[in-house]
Amino acid sequence: MKTGEKIQVVVIIFFCVVLDIVLHMVTSPYSTMPDNPNLSFVANILGIEITASLWALSAFSVVAFVFWRIRDAIPKEGVSKGLRYGTAIALLWFLAMLEGVSLFGNPLIKEIIVGLSDAIPVFLMGVLLGLVKPEKGSGTTSVELSPKQKTKTIVLFTVIFLVGRYIAYSLGVIKSGSKTMPIQTFAWTLLMGIAIGTAFMLLGTKRKGKSVQHRAWEFGFLTFGLNWAVFLVFMPLVFSGYIVDVLLRMVIDSTLVTVASYLTIIAREDLLKVGPGTYKNATEQR
């Protein structure tokens, strides 16, 4: 990356961080912050506002870093790459916020508004990053999947995430509202699985010189994992008593997504070998 491009990326990150902070200030009446929170060591020293601002700066920086690492693997060309990336991460972050409904009993409308305060800036950042040195070629083989193949992909991710999460819920490995708010917990877990499958289809997986295992790991622990981790880390950064739970969520969820990615890529290998120009004929032969 050239110096000029680095400057553009830094400006974009700072602009979107400021937008995120402003939106949270505007939506502060809808904040789900408890009246007497048990603050973390960091928040006690720096204060909630500064700690939250530092989180935003680090989180958006990681989001930008991941985009630059996987940019060539994202389908389409130019700004469309940023649009796909911004949509995927905004969807993941927005739904992640909604887990507070089943975990803490927070009102849905409040979680939606606060969630949008993060989702909008991260979506915009993805689009703006796509404008920095837009490329005509993606460097990856794109296969247009049929509606049936797309449905299978989403179902596979949803089932694996749903089953894996419920095993963790039942074993008490991570906190959940599966007993106190079973309907809300099931609905959130289902929607989250659908969102992850959708993100996988939006961002694709790099083909050239990469094994199936590497591509699965790349999506599960890099693309999904890092973006998921930087969002979840907000809780232990601001509040006390969440470190172990959040770390387990990061590992469990990233592992589940990696497994789903691996199985999906294996199922699509024949399509990648056939190529986009003959996919239609291949499906007709089946």
Beta bridge partners of 39: 239
> Taking the alpha carbons of 24, 25, 28, 33 in that order, is the dihedral positive or negative?
positive
Place of tokens 């596979």: 156
Q: 146: domain range?
A: 3-285
CA distance 41 to 242: 12
Q: What is the pLDDT of residue 224?
A: 97
Give Cα 267 distance to the centre of its chain.
Answer: 23
Give Cα 86 distance to the centre of its chain.
Answer: 10
Q: For residue 175, how many other CB atoms are within 10 A of its CB?
A: 17
Q: What is the pLDDT of residue 278?
A: 45
Q: What is the pLDDT of residue 228?
A: 98
Four-point Cα dihedral 36, 111, 197, 69, nearest 10: -70
CA distance 241 to 102: 18
Where in the chain does DSSP place strands (E)?
none
CB 190 within 8 A of CB 158: yes
Q: What is the pLDDT of residue 150?
A: 87
Structurally, the chain folds into a number of domains equal to: 1
Q: Mark the ranges of the chain whose per-residue pLDDT is less than 70.
A: 134-145, 205-209, 269-286
Q: What is the pLDDT of residue 148?
A: 85
CB 218 within 8 A of CB 205: yes
Q: What is the pLDDT of residue 56?
A: 98
Q: What is the pLDDT of residue 106?
A: 95
**Considering only CA atoms, which of 219, 264, 255, 234 is closest in space to residue 66?**
219
Q: What is the pLDDT of residue 116?
A: 98
Q: What is the pLDDT of residue 277?
A: 47
Q: What is the pLDDT of residue 71?
A: 92
Q: What is the pLDDT of residue 271?
A: 54
